[in-house]
Structure 1
Amino acid sequence: MRESIRTALARVRNPEYTGENRCVPCTIVNVSLAAAGSAIIGSVSRKGGAAAFAGSLAAIGLRGYLVPGTPALTKRYLPAPILERFDAHPLEESDEDAEALTTETIEEYERQQERAVNPERFLLDVGAVELRENDLGFTDDLADRIDGRLRTLPDDPLEPALVAELYGLEPAAVTVADRPYPAVRIGRRIHKWPSTAALRADLATHRALEGLTDRWREVPQAQRIELLEVLRSFRERCPDCGGPITLTEDTVDSCCQTYAVHALNCDGCEQPLLEFDPDDTDRGASGGFQP
C-alpha cells in the first residue's frame, strides 16, 4: 500500500519545479493565491476552505506551482526587492541547500574572519603575483608550477579525492553531485564550477600554491576557495585546450529575473572559466582586490 502511494506521488511530482529546482518567489505567490482562494471558500464552508487550502498546498508541494504560468506572473508583478531577496542568483553559489545557522557555524565563521588575510598583500608577499604595467599577474615561478600541476591532472578531475584537497577534507566527505556542470556535495552544501576547465584551474593552482609556500594552508579554507576563483582571471590561456581567454557579455534568465553576466570564456573549446556580475566590484572578497 505504502509503495503504491509512493509510486503515485512520484508520477505526479514535477522535478523541474520542486526540490532543488523549487523557485521560492513562485512558491510564495502560489501559497498566497491558495490562501486567498481558500479564504473565499471558507467564508461559505469552513471545512471546504480547509480542504481547498490543504489540497492547494499538496499541489504546490508536488508540482511546484498551483497556477500555470506562475514564473511570468511572478516576474511581472512581484516587487524587485522581494525577487532579489529570494531568487537564486545564477552567479552566486546559491543553489546550495539551506544550512541552519547554529552556534558552531557562527563561531567557525568568526574564527575564519580572524585568520583572513589581505588577498593582494598575501599573494605579493609569497611571490605568487607581481605588478605588471599597473596590473597584477602570475609570477613566472607560480605560472610554471601551475602548468606542471595541470599536466598531472586527469582530463576529468571531478573525483572526490581530488576535490577533497581543495577543502582539506577526507575523500569520503565529498560526493559528486548530479549536475550538468562540475559539482560536489559536501555535507548539506553543493559546491560548483562553471566548467571542467575552471575546476582544473583551481586544482592546479591550489597544488602550485601549496608547493610555493607553507602559508597557503594557513589561509582560511573559505578564503582559499575565493582566491582560487579570482586567480582564474589571471590566466591568459585555457587550462584545458590552451586557447585564448576572452571576456564576453550576455544576459541570463532565471525563473523570475534577468541578469547581466560577464564571463571569461575560452575561444578554443568555449568553456567558461569565470562568470561574474559586472556590478560587483569586489570579486576578491576583501578590500577591492582587483585582478
Structure 2
Amino acid sequence: MIDRIRLRRPEYTGSNRCRACTVVNAVVLLVVVGLISVRAPLVAAAVGVVGAAAIALRGYLLPFTPYFAPALVAPLPGRFFNHDAPAASDALSDLDDDAADTEAVLRALIEADVVTADGDRVGVTESFKAAWRDRMDPLADAPDDQFAAAARESVPVVASGRVERPGSEAFLVVSGDGRLSRWIRRPVAITEVAAVEALADTDLQAAHLAVAANALCAFLEMCPACGDDVVEGRLDDCCGHSLGDHDPERGLACETCGVAFHRFG
C-alpha cells in the first residue's frame, strides 16, 4: 500500500528546495520524455506528468540526486545553484562546564516573567522582547572594542573577550576561567550578550544567564546584524543530504547573514 504521507515532502520543497537537484532532475525528465515521445507520445506525456509531479511534491525524482547533482552544476558560473548551509556558531554557554539544565533554566525564565507558557505554546513576554531589542541595537552599532568590553562586563562566565575578523567574517572570541576560547559569530554574540544585559533587570540567577541567553535565541524574530527576519528551516546544505527515514535538522537562521541562531533539538 502506498504511504500517502510520503508522497509530499515539504522538507525538500518550497524554501528548502535545492535548485541544483531540481534542475538536474528536470533536464533528465525532459530527455527521457523526448526519447519516449518518438515512439509513444501518450506514454511520454504520462511520464512527463508523473515525473513533474514527483519533482514538485518531493523535491527530486531520481534517487540519491543530492549526491551527484551539486557536483554537476558546480562548474557553472554565478550563485544561482548555491544552497549553503547556515553557519553554526559557538555560544556563551559553551564556556560554562557546570551550565544549568536547559529545562530548569526555562522554568526559571517563566518564573522571572521573561517567558510565557500556555499549554504547548511558549513565547517571550512583550516587555522582555522590547528590552532585548533595546540592547541589541547599540551592540550592533558598537565598535569592536566596545562590543567586546560589553561582553566582559555583562556576562559572568566571560573572563576575557575580543573581536576577530578573519576574512569577511566577525567573531566575538571569549574565554572563561579555564582559558578555553569560544568563537561566537557576531550576529549570535550580539543576540546573546543583549539577552544577558536585558536579563540583568530580572530575578534570574547569574549562574543561569549564559544558558538562558542561548535558549532565548529560539524566540528571535529579527537578525540584530542586518535587520532581516530570521526564518525557520533546514540547516543542512542541500535538499537531500539527510536521506532515508531521518528528518533533516531544523532551526532558526538569518539567510542574509548565513548564520544559524538556534537548532531545534
Q: TM-score, normalised by structure 2?
A: 0.49
User: RCO greater where, 1 or 2, for CA within 8 Å and sep 6 or more?
Assistant: 2
